[in-house]
Structure 1
Amino acid sequence: MPTFNAVQYHGAVTGWVPIIDAGNPATAPDFTIDMPFIITYTAVALGTVETRQMDNRVRVYPNPTVDYFKLALPSETDKSKTTISLYDMSGKMVKEFKVAEQYDISSLIKGAYMVKVKDGSTIKVTKLLKN
């Protein structure tokens, strides 16, 4: 709906102006607008304090999955320093990977997992469901 569009700042003269998304994702997906949405928060578990981010630019697909998943990362990610860790819902790390085309999780049981992407400066998290 047009009333759900965001605004962007164009300087003191123009000020805040609407970002209009007039595209139709069903017919012209290249014309739709996607805004980065990042939430930074602090997680405390077992005496460990960790600053994390939920970042809509980190995408896990297919999700849900059966045997493997792929990961889309923000362009500024330093892939040489990046590790990907999977945690089960009890908080136990069950797999760790370096950056790759896809990640094999065929040996894991069905369930929900937390994906942590550590790039040396930030920790981004998202969820993954395995069927």
Structure 2
Amino acid sequence: MKKQLLFTLAFLGGITFASAQTEISFDAAGDDLQSFTVGQQNSDDLDEGILTVSGTGVAVTNNNFMGIRSDTPTDDGATGTWIFTVSTTSATPINATLNLDMAKRPGCSVSGTVAVSGYTSTSYSFGSDGTDVSAVVDAPIEFGSIISLVSGTPLTVTITLDEMLNVDNTATSIFRLENVILERDGALSVEEISANNIVASVSPNPVTNSFQINSNKSVERVELYNITGRLVKTFGEEAHYDISDLATGIYIANIKTQLGSKTIKVVKE
């Protein structure tokens, strides 16, 4: 009996119990733009613990997202909620823009709200834009208020899916969350900045092939990120910044000057 007990304890000691990852923390000493992944891999910042479903909704777990599908074709009863917490260890308040990298099936429509504790909720609605239920289209959501993060006061983010109209697709996710992006100082909503005697702007914006940076301080380095927070290009100081090889969409230019880093939204047509 004693040997059996020791064997059982040794066996249990070799098991690792994974806890749900439902909180992300903005690194005050890190980049101005920080992206947090969602999925079921151990390396993901948020996992299936953030997602609950109701109605006819069914949770879909994937290495790259957390989604919702329905077992009922042509159904609008699938609902669900993603809930997670955002925090920081910074004792000084950090103002940030919250962006949610969402996606949906083109042949389906979704609507709901995004709520952050202490702020006015933001509504979203994406209509059906075709009958293709096999493809996936981006459905990004930007929270309507700049949020303030400070140590000891975490914020709860609740994404509510109130209605999802499914069109004959019961095998795959209809609506899903892929990444959570936080941008310091709300730079995702600002195209021209003036702070600490630094003035910077991008022209033309939107841009087709290349853009210029107009700044009253010397530009030392430019890092260009896509909307998910991935670094796609790095420049030194140049007369023209060529992005002709990039796909159309929204990018974030992190401009490093003598007085620090500033970010500007760049729209590629």
Please give the range of the TM-score, normalised by the shorter of the 2 chains.
Answer: 0.5 to 0.7
- 1:73 pairs, out of 196, 206, 215, with 215
User: 3-state DSSP class of the match of 1:99?
Assistant: coil
Larger strand percent: 2
Residues 49 and 108 (structure 1 numbering): CA distance in 2 closer, same or farther, change over 3 Å? closer
| Larger Rg belongs to | 2
- 1:106 pairs, out of 244, 248, 253, with 244
Superimposed CA distance per residue, residues 40-65 of structure 1 (whole angstroms, 9 cap, x where no aligned partner): xxxx35x8365866624211000001
Superposition RMSD on alpha carbons, in Å?
A: 2.5
> How many residues are paired up?
84
State the distance in 2 between where 1:65 and 1:128 align. 7
In structure 2, the partner of 1:122 is 260
User: 3-state DSSP class of the match of 1:59?
Assistant: strand
Give the counterpart letter for 1:129 in structure 2: V
Superimposed CA distance per residue, residues 53-100 of structure 1 (whole angstroms, 9 cap, x where no aligned partner): 6624211000001110111012xx244xx1011000000010010111
Sequence identity, in percent? 28
Once the two structures are TM-superposed, the CA of residue 119 in structure 1 deviates from its matched residue by 2.2
Residues 64 and 99 (structure 1 numbering): CA distance in 2 closer, same or farther, change over 3 Å? same
State the distance in 2 between where 1:60 and 1:49 align. 21
Paired residues for 1:1-131 under 5 Å: 44=26, 48=30, 50=32, 55-56=193-194, 57-74=199-216, 77-79=217-219, 82-131=220-269
Q: Which runs of 5+ in 1 are unaligned?
A: 1-43
State the distance in 2 between where 1:86 and 1:62 align. 16
Q: Which runs of 5+ in 2 are unaligned?
A: 1-25, 33-93, 95-183, 188-192
User: 3-state DSSP class of the match of 2:222?
Assistant: strand
State the distance in 2 between where 1:123 and 1:100 align. 17
State the distance in 2 between where 1:125 and 1:64 align. 15
TM-score by length of 2: 0.28
Give the counterpart letter for 1:62 in structure 2: P
Residues 49 and 90 (structure 1 numbering): CA distance in 2 closer, same or farther, change over 3 Å? closer
Residues 49 and 102 (structure 1 numbering): CA distance in 2 closer, same or farther, change over 3 Å? closer
In structure 1, the partner of 2:15 is none
Once the two structures are TM-superposed, the CA of residue 112 in structure 1 deviates from its matched residue by 0.2
User: 3-state DSSP class of the match of 2:264?
Assistant: strand
Give the counterpart letter for 1:48 in structure 2: G
